[in-house]
Structure formats: structure tokens, C-alpha cells
Amino acid sequence: MMQAMVLEQPGKPLVLKTVPLPAPSDGQVLVKIIACGVCRTDLHIVDGELSKPKLPLIIGHEIVGKVIKKGRTVTKLRKGDVVGIPWLGYTCGKCKYCRNERENLCENALFTGYTIDGGYAEYTVAHEKYCFPIVEQYANASGSPLLCAGLIGYRSYTMIGDHVTNLGIYGFGAAAHILIQLAIFQGKRIFAFTREGDVNAQAFSRKLGATWAGDSSQEPPQRLDAAIIFAPVGNLVPKALLDLDKGGVVVCGGIHMSDIPSFPYSILWEERVIRSVANLTRKDGEQFLKIAPRVPIKTETQTFPLRQANEALLALRSGKVQGAAVLVMAPQL
Ligand SMILES: [Zn+2]
Ligand SMILES: [Zn+2]
């Protein structure tokens, strides 16, 4: 048996329960969880804003843990390996998206902590092919935010194009605090936009090297070559277009966003682009986790014990988390 925080019904708090230990099927491993990050997507699931959760459900898709048992046909992983388990839990390998390197759009994908059980628990099972190896420096709570905030931030960043010097980031939470380190490492100038008057987040972004930080309603001192929106706020799309230079891209990095208001065509004209980012491919994960220790990316985490998952979600909701919130099950294994 194991302890888990279970979502029984959207709109209700998670419930601490003792549930049976999952058994690894063919190709799966049983993982003892060290830590699991708390992502904004978890809030969208708990709030019922994403429509297809498995219920009851163990949420959480930024898992760092140690392999303790292998199912049959597991070939790559060994007992004792530390792995990261991300949002993308399974793809079919057969649909048209899988066949042309867009497995993030797979018709039959399963998602950790959404359509299959995830990491707000002491143990979980995962398909070995979707686990990432985790280097020693990240084999603890600090590695968890890399697995979604880091990865989705990285995928968004790969969509901004090749000619970007000035990069705007709208919403300075877990994803932004990781991405800024990589972007500055690669010579970008960062303009950080936060909710109105969030001077703490603005100071945090400056500490991490932002060229400029301000409220999302403010005009940046220079035109932006690209913008990434992490905040789930549709109003930011036309605002980012206004801040953008010709030919620039606005990348929406979240899984859910409030409605985008209508706007004049003139702010989109001159080949400005709006696009979204969905999920991740394993290639994104491999590339990002290879670069992260080279930067080296350091995550700032606020940790909570498993049983305080509701408190962690509340802290995230109210903007009280600097960096990333992480549930810690077993700090050392
Ligand atoms: Zn597929
Ligand atoms: Zn996430």
C-alpha cells in the first residue's frame, strides 16, 4: 500500500488516501518517488478546466524517482536508476503524428497525472520509453520543475525563430525562471512581464538577469523580437502583439488560457505570428535535459510534504510561490 493525494471530483480538494501499490505492466517500471513538482496544469485539472481526467486520479507530472522494480520486457532501465517522468506518458507510434515526429500531438497519447496516474503519491508506474535519465545534481526536488516547467518552456523557446535578441516573457513563474537562464546563456535579452504590481517576481527576474521587468500592461523600452506567454491570460495575446516587432512570434506556452479578446488586424500584420505549444516530444526532453546541466540551470523551489498538496496548489494559485512548488516524498533514497 502507499499514500497518495487523490482527486475524486474536479472542484474538490485532493484527499489523502491509502491505496494499493501499482504493479508495473510489460515495459513499465515501478518508481519510488523522490519529489513531484506542482504545475499550473494541475490547477486546471483540479478546477475542471481540462475536460477528460481519469477519475479518481493521482495528479502530478514532474516526477523524479528511483526505479525499484521492473515489469517484463523492460530493457533499458535498471533497478536503482533515477528517472524523470514527464507529462507525456505514452504514444501509439502509429498515428500520422507519431509517424512524422510530432508525437506530442499523438491521437492516442496518455498523459501522466491526467489520463493515467501521476506523482502526488509515494510510488508510481511509468513506461520506460517515456522516462528520462536524471543526472545526479537533479536527482532531488530541484530536478522536478525541469520536467514540465522546464520542458514546456524549452519547447516554447524552440518556436521563437532564429533571429531573436529581445525576448519577452509574460508570466514569471516556474517555467520563466528556468527558461530565462537558458535564454541568457544563449545571448538573449529578457524582458519580463508580471501581474500588476508583483514587485517580488519582477525583482526575482532581474536577479536572474532580466534586462527589464515590469507590469504586463507596461510598454517595454525596446521592441521585442519574440514573446512567450506562460500566464493563462488571453488578454496578453494582443498586448504581446503590440510589443512585438515585425515578423515576430507570440508563443502561448500553456495548456489552458482565458478567451483572447478581438483585436485589429494591424497589430498582427507584417508577418507577426501567434501559435500555441502542446505537450512535448521525447526529443524535446532529451535535448533540454542535456543542456540544463551545462548552463547550469538552477531551480528555485518551495517544498511541501505530500499531505500538504492542497496547500501547495493554493500557494501556486495565489501567486505566492517564487520559482516552483515541489512535493517532497523522500528527500534521500
Ligand atoms: Zn500516435
Ligand atoms: Zn505541467
- Tell me how far the alpha carbon of residue 288 lies from the centroid of ligand 1, in angstroms: 22
Q: Give the model's pLDDT for residue 282.
A: 97
Look at residues 321, 286, 319, 325 and name the one whose alpha carbon lies nearest to residue 304: 325
Question: How far is the centre of ligand 2, averaged over its atoms, from the C-alpha of 40 (Å)?
Answer: 6
CATH class for the domain made up of 2-145+299-328: alpha beta
Q: What does the pLDDT profile of the chain (333 residues) look like in tens digits?
A: 999 999 999 999 999 999 999 999 999 999 999 999 999 999 999 999 998 899 999 999 999 999 999 999 999 999 999 999 999 999 999 999 999 999 999 999 999 999 999 999 999 999 999 999 999 999 999 999 999 999 999 999 999 999 999 999 999 999 999 999 999 999 999 999 999 999 999 999 999 999 999 999 999 999 999 999 999 999 999 999 999 999 999 999 998 999 999 999 999 999 999 999 999 999 999 999 999 999 999 999 999 999 999 999 999 999 889 899 999 997 655
Angstrom distance (rounded) from CA 47 to CA 14: 11
Tell me how far the alpha carbon of residue 176 lies from the centroid of ligand 2, in angstroms: 13
Ligand 2 geometric centre to CA of 150 (Å): 9
Contact status, residue 234 vs residue 260, Cβ threshold 8 Å: yes
The pTM is what? Answer: 0.95
Which ligand lies nearest the alpha carbon of 324?
2
**Beta-bridge partner residues of 244:** 224
Q: Ligand 1 centroid vs 29 CA: distance in angstroms?
A: 21
Ligand nearest to the CA of 150: 2
Q: Where are the domains positioned within the chain? A: 2-145+299-328, 160-276
Q: Do domains 2-145+299-328 and 160-276 have the same CATH topology?
A: no
Q: How far is the CA of 194 from the centre of ligand 2 (A)?
A: 19
Ligand 2 (single-atom ion) residues, CB below 5 Å: 39, 41, 148
Of all ligands present, the nearest one to the C-alpha of 279 is 2
Question: How close is the Cα of 239 to the center of ligand 1, in Å?
Answer: 35
Distance 267 CA to ligand 2 centre (A): 30
Q: How confident is the model at residue 330, as a pLDDT? A: 74
Q: Are strands 28-38 and 324-328 parallel, antiparallel or unpaired?
A: antiparallel
Closest-lying ligand to the alpha carbon of 96?
1
For residue 201, the CA-to-ligand 2 centroid distance in Å is 20
Q: How far is the CA of 52 from the centre of ligand 2 (A)?
A: 16
The closest ligand to the CA of 281 turns out to be: 1
- State the architecture of 160-276 in CATH terms: 3-Layer(aba) Sandwich (3.40)
User: Which ligand is the nearest neighbour of the Cα of 39?
Assistant: 2
282 CA → ligand 1 middle, Å: 13
